[in-house]
Chain A
Amino acid sequence: MSLVNLAHVCSHLQNASKARLGLTSIPVSKMHVNLMLGLQREGFLSSVTLGGPTPPKPFLLQTQPDPESLENMARKLEKEPWNAYPVDGQSPLGKEQIYEVNVPENPAKRRLWLGLKYWNNEPVLKQMKLVSKPTRRIWLTSEDLGRIARTRESSYVKGLTHPGECMFVTTDRGILEARDCVERRIGGMALCRVW
């Protein structure tokens, strides 16, 4: 579990949001995937997609069902609403459209594609910084995390004083937000803080 790569990811996300990119990619690792899913859960990212060296097709550019068939479907559902539920794995409304992302077989060629968010011409994710460093890991108990979440300093970690600041902690239950850890009373190694 290298924190060097995470440091690179942190600065890359800061740079990408400063450049107002809509989509960016980071190297894939289990920790990165879990952390990015945590960021998405907290609303910092719009999408997290596993893909190859080329970006996955954005949702709006994927093949959409034509409006006529959608209308037919709506009319059918209105008459026979039980058709909304598939029977024996067969959908009575016709085949579901699934866009398949081409993930390379070679793991070295895989990238994790992230959708960045902006609001009022300001990036939602502006700052992302490591708390533990590659040379100095910091483990926090749930009491420490409680104090930090209440904006107090604890175990040489500054409190979450910026508006809307989040801290991610890797625990034996996965990568969680600091406030989640406090709620579940689990401690872990602090990874990074985001605001």
Chain B
Amino acid sequence: MSVCRPARCLFSKASSLPKSAPSAPHPRRPFHTTTSRSGRRRRPHYPSIKAEDLALLNQAAEVQYPKYDTSETALLAKKYTPAQIAAIKAAESALDPRDIITQGQTRTDPWKLPYEDDMSEVDPVTDHAEKLTAADIPGPKTFREANEVESDEAITLIASENMAKLYPNGVPDDMTDKEKQHLEDAMHAALTQASLDPRASYTSKNPKAMEALADPRHSTILPDLPRLENRMAKQTRRLSTEEQEDPRQKRLLQQMSWDKDKLKFLRIKTLVSHGVTNQTRMGKINSMYFLTIAGNENGLLGVGEGKSTEPEEGRKQSVMAAIRNMRPIPRYEGRTIYGDLEKKVGATKVQLFSRPPGFGLRVQHLIFELARAAGLHDLSARTPRSRNKMNVIKATWEALCNQRLPDEIARGRGKKLVDVRKVYYGGSVH
């Protein structure tokens, strides 16, 4: 039993106790292609419990979260001061274990810890590796450089240790040529490793200090991460050479001198797709048209078009074009546009209005997607004339790209312009 158990309240998972499943006579119908943000639920986050279930619940609470017994309190007393133990007890009594079972949920808020843990074990992936200092070495800590005899002795010792690890049952007598070759390689490796070991070049009279030389906990270099050895990890693990690489994507990355990981952080969405027909003397040729937007949600936005007889091909074309066309969008305080914008493409007119903080994106769905991909948070818009999807997207994109910035206006007019909001709030606007 861990002394860190008081933390259970903070990291407890939702219980496996049967919750009344929310009956859904009318499943929510998606009216948009956009995935809806999970709105505030009308019902409470936990089911109401009947009296007969309460007995079950009490039982479950006692089993899952038992009271401290004397051995545990003794352990606690070793680790914590009396004041801390009092605080732990107060916190334990403040939280009813039944509440934890019924209402305990995994956190979904952005401030949750990036992993679930009760901190009882050191996880080599998420936690810092254990460190020892010179104070942990008992006895004298004096070293000197080993002479040749000592060095040879140490190398033999370390190499034989390493070989013993590789062949725990001893070297078998009858070996095939391949196994012999393997053994030779292993011996060579063990010798190299031993000669690189600090115990081979330094020596000390204190055996504990010699041990500390080989101990990775004393090393300034962090130990390697452990290899995950479960079946799932093995199946999903791929070498970079095994992966199929899209030649178009490769060329795009080369052109933009980007890393492949950068593509992961782009918000890419195909907003328009429809069939188009080319009438030739041979007959009609049907193909698919795609219009895709790409943005990094931090001031970059691109729109791309693609067309092909193969739908997947056309879509990929449009995605690559969108990424390649990404242009910077100037944003006022990183949330809205500089003043009102208006742009006309064909018969489509788009008017964009800047809005105060917290206003949100009160715009039609296409402009919403563009604003979200560009990282705009406060915006309203009107499309008073034609609402042709492609033209709305193009007009919005061009309006956002070609904003007149206050600096440029000031330079053009030879006047000094001051952002009053920034001055008033002393620059502490986001």
- The answer to whether A and B come from one shared complex is yes
Q: Show the binding face of A for B, using Cβ within 8 Å.
A: 42-44, 117-120, 122, 124, 161-165
4 closest A-B pairs by CB: A43-B413, A119-B412, A163-B339, A164-B409
Contact B404 A164 (CB under 8 A): yes
Instruction: Report if B405 contacts A (CB, 8 A).
Output: yes
Given known pairs A119-B408, A120-B408, the reply for A164 and B353 (CB within 8 Å) is no
Contact A161 B353 (CB under 8 A): yes
Instruction: Report if B417 contacts A (CB, 8 A).
Output: yes
| Alpha-carbon gap, A42 to B353, bound state (A) | 25
Q: Which residues of chain B are near A165, meaning CB under 8 Å?
A: 339
Q: Which residue of A lies closest to B402 (CB)?
A: A122
Q: Which residues of chain A are near B404, meaning CB under 8 Å?
A: 122, 163-164
Q: Which residues of chain A are near B411, meaning CB under 8 Å?
A: 119
**Cβ-neighbour of B417 out of A119, A120, A164 (below 8 A):** A164
Chain B: minimal CB distance from A114 (Å): 15
18 more A-B residue pairs beyond the given contacts A119-B411, A162-B339, A163-B339, with a C-beta to C-beta distance below 8 A: A42-B415, A43-B414, A117-B412, A117-B413, A118-B412, A120-B408, A120-B412, A122-B404, A163-B338, A163-B405, A163-B406, A164-B339, A164-B404, A164-B406, A164-B410, A164-B413, A164-B417, A165-B339
Instruction: Report if B340 contacts A (CB, 8 A).
Output: yes
| Alpha-carbon gap, A124 to B411, bound state (A) | 10
Q: Which residue of B lies closest to A46 (CB)?
A: B414
Q: Which residue of A lies closest to B332 (CB)?
A: A163
Q: Which residue of A lies closest to B353 (CB)?
A: A161
Contact A124 B413 (CB under 8 A): yes
Q: Which residue of B lies closest to A45 (CB)?
A: B413
Kindly count the residue-residue contacts between A and B in the assembled complex, taking CB atoms under 8 Å apart.
42
Contact A44 B413 (CB under 8 A): yes
Given known pairs A119-B408, A120-B408, the reply for A162 and B340 (CB within 8 Å) is yes
| Alpha-carbon gap, A124 to B414, bound state (A) | 10
Q: Which residue of A lies closest to B411 (CB)?
A: A119
| Alpha-carbon gap, A117 to B413, bound state (A) | 8
Chain B: minimal CB distance from A174 (Å): 20
Interface string of B71-94 (1 = CB under 8 A from A): 000000000000000000000000
Q: Indicate the size class of the contact surface on chain B.
A: 10 to 19
Query: Within residues 364 to 417 of chain B, which ones have a CB less than 8 A from any CB in chain A?
Result: 403-406, 408-415, 417
| Alpha-carbon gap, A119 to B410, bound state (A) | 10
Contact A43 B412 (CB under 8 A): yes
**Cβ-neighbour of B413 out of A42, A161, A162 (below 8 A):** A42
Q: Which residues of chain A are near B406, meaning CB under 8 Å?
A: 163-164
Q: Which residues of chain B are near A42, meaning CB under 8 Å?
A: 413, 415
Q: Which residue of B lies closest to A41 (CB)?
A: B415
| Alpha-carbon gap, A122 to B404, bound state (A) | 10
Q: Which residues of chain A are near B403, meaning CB under 8 Å?
A: 163
Contact B417 A161 (CB under 8 A): no
Q: Which residues of chain B are near A43, meaning CB under 8 Å?
A: 412-415
Q: Which residues of chain A are near B413, meaning CB under 8 Å?
A: 42-44, 117, 124, 164
Of listed A42, A161, A162, residue having the most chain B CB within 10 A: A162
| Alpha-carbon gap, A17 to B28, bound state (A) | 55
| Alpha-carbon gap, A120 to B407, bound state (A) | 12
Q: Which residue of A lies closest to B406 (CB)?
A: A163
Q: Which residues of chain B are near A124, meaning CB under 8 Å?
A: 409, 412-413
| Alpha-carbon gap, A162 to B351, bound state (A) | 12
| Alpha-carbon gap, A119 to B406, bound state (A) | 13
| Alpha-carbon gap, A122 to B417, bound state (A) | 18
Q: Provide 23 A-B residue pairs closer than 8 Å at the C-beta atoms, listed in order of the A residue.
A: A43-B412, A43-B413, A43-B414, A43-B415, A117-B413, A119-B412, A122-B408, A124-B409, A161-B354, A162-B340, A163-B338, A163-B339, A163-B403, A163-B404, A163-B405, A163-B406, A163-B409, A164-B404, A164-B406, A164-B410, A164-B413, A164-B417, A165-B339
| Alpha-carbon gap, A163 to B339, bound state (A) | 5
